A = this chain, B = another copy of it.
Amino acid sequence: MTYSKKIQSLLKREKIKLYDLIEVSSKNFKVKGYLMPRTEGDPNTLVLKLENGYNIGIKPDSVKRLGSMKREKLPKIKFAKDPKKKNVVLLAAGGTIASRIDYRTGAVKPAITPEEILSFTPRINDVANISIKILFQMLSECMTPHHWALIAKGVRDAINEGADGVVVLHGTDTLGYSAAYLSFALQNLPIPVVFVGAQRSPDRASCDAHMNILCAVKAATSDIAEVMVCMHEDLNDNSCALHQGNRVRKCHTSRRDAFKSIGVKPFARVKYPSLELEILRNDYARVDKTRKLIFKNKVCDKVAIIKTFPGLKSDIIKSLIKNKYQGLVIEGTGLGHFPIKSYDKFSKENEENFMALKRFAKRGIIFMASQTIWGRINMNVYETGRDLVNIGVLGNLLDMIPETAYVKLVWALGNSKTLEDAKKLMSTNIAGEFTERSLF
């Protein structure tokens, strides 16, 4: 979609091209901004990107060209290494936190240099000696388990090179999945590993990148040798929460406090701007740089997670069997249920679901989690739960959240020689991924 002929001739007359800086006048106001393409809506309305990063639509009376867009240059800052400070490695793995506006499309693109990260958060150098390594640059929704393995390797290398803490800059969309993976791939962790992201891009006034990174670097110098996620605790700028990496979930599309611990408290909070650490739980491993890391970063990419819904038919499971999937996590309903029983002509297809699951379980592994997100699996209460257990669907993940169940199965199948070994790994509490008793 493009602008109307009327708008196009107006722009042509003023020699204005897309992405030029222009001034638009209408009856009551004037506004400056960059001309954006029209992707939807009224073709007679101009779309301008304002300096604060927001887009607005305006019906113009007149327009004037002010100049072309220049990519802002940030000053290069160099930091001296202070032997009294801890050494924290920042690993950049893409995402909004390491991104800029793409002035070609007006959308946010992952691309940033180490200098840029340091220049928009210079205070991190007061907290620790910082070094930065770019692992890859991509939007986190496009990451795969192989990228988790690369992040794990990056953290292991940093540990081997003597880092006191590692911060992973990551897109928020799948940040919880990656953090969960590292909690399994890096066992016996000697130092803190802190994932951090930003919900608002750096071109917006409400950007949370600066505060989140600063709190994450602080967390990386703490005594908590766990895989953590550091994000805004609430809508105020007073603290970041340090969530347990495998029990945290992005629970809002846009809020800065989108990440919530599920069924447990966060390990701690970092207050802002004081950067004071307030411990909220005591069941964490303490930093011990002599502790020997156990490193298992293989993955199995024949694993899927399927959400059940009323009307689910067997074709989906059958396609997984046909394509030789080895692992399946069901995001079932309630205590861990799946539509498998026929009561009437309308529910006859459920019998096919039952047979398909039975076939899958004969040569692969099926684990049950719940789409309720909160609460514990219990497949012994209802008859359909028991029927599922009888054909081999495993219901012993307790309160493991569905996303972590998927990640752990990718990891367990990748790092086991037999299905039985993978089942044993799944049933072992490796990094607090299930709890003896849910808090909520």
Contacts of A313 in B (CB 8 A): 301, 323
Cβ of A319: which chain B residues have Cβ within 8 Å of it? 315-316, 318-319
C-beta contact mask, A179-191 vs B, less than 8 Å → 1, else 0?
A: 0000000000000
Cβ-defined contact, B177 with A309, below 8 A:
yes
Residues of B within 8 Å of A165, CB to CB, are: none
With contact pairs A307-B331, A311-B303 given, residues A346 and B141 touching in the complex (Cβ less than 8 Å): no
B109 with A383: CB separation less than 8 A: yes
Give chain B residues whose Cβ lies under 8 Å from the Cβ of A316.
304, 316, 319-320
Stoichiometry (number of copies): 2
Q: How far is the CB of A184 from chain B (nearest CB, A)?
A: 14
In contact, A139 and B383 (Cβ under 8 angstroms): yes
Give the CA-CA distance A346 to B150 in the complex, in Å: 10
Q: Which of A61-69, A123-131, A248-256 contacts B (4 or more CB under 8 A)?
A: A248-256
Partner pick for A375 among B144, B146, B252, B310, CB 8 A cutoff? B252
* Interface contact B347-A311, CB-CB below 8 Å: no
**Which residue of chain B has the shortest Cβ distance to A410 in the bound complex?**
B311
The reply to whether A334 and B141 contact each other, CB–CB distance below 8 Å, is: yes
Task: Give the contacting residue for A383; candidates B102, B299, B381; CB below 8 A.
Answer: B102
Contact A39 B389 (CB under 8 A): yes
Contact B380 A107, beta carbon cutoff 8 Å: yes
> What are the residues of chain B within 8 A of A338 when measuring CB–CB?
141
A311 to chain B, nearest CB (A): 5
A337-358, CB under 8 A of B: which get 1 and which 0? 1111111101101100000000
Alpha-carbon distance A252/B143, docked complex (angstroms): 29
Which residues from B are CB-within-8-Å of A349?
144
Q: A138 near B: Cβ within 8 Å?
A: yes
The residue in chain B whose Cβ has the minimal distance to the Cβ of A340 is B142
Question: Are A378 and B253 neighbours in the complex by a CB distance under 8 Å?
Answer: yes
Write the nearest CB–CB distance from A124 to chain B, whole angstroms. Answer: 26
Closest B residue to A178 using CB positions: B310
Interface assignment of A406: CB less than 8 Å from any CB of chain B = yes
Instruction: Report which residue of A334, A335, A378 has the largest number of chain B beta carbons within 10 angstroms of its beta carbon.
Output: A334
Report yes or no: B304 in contact with A384, Cβ–Cβ below 8 A.
no
7 examples of A-B residue contacts, CB within 8 angstroms: A55-B380, A105-B383, A107-B381, A143-B310, A253-B336, A304-B316, A316-B319
Q: What is A's interface to B at a CB cutoff of 8 Å?
A: 39-40, 55, 102, 105, 107-109, 136-148, 150, 172-174, 177-178, 201, 250-255, 258, 299, 301, 303-313, 315-316, 318-320, 323, 331-344, 346-347, 349-350, 370, 372-378, 380-386, 389-390, 403, 406, 410, 440
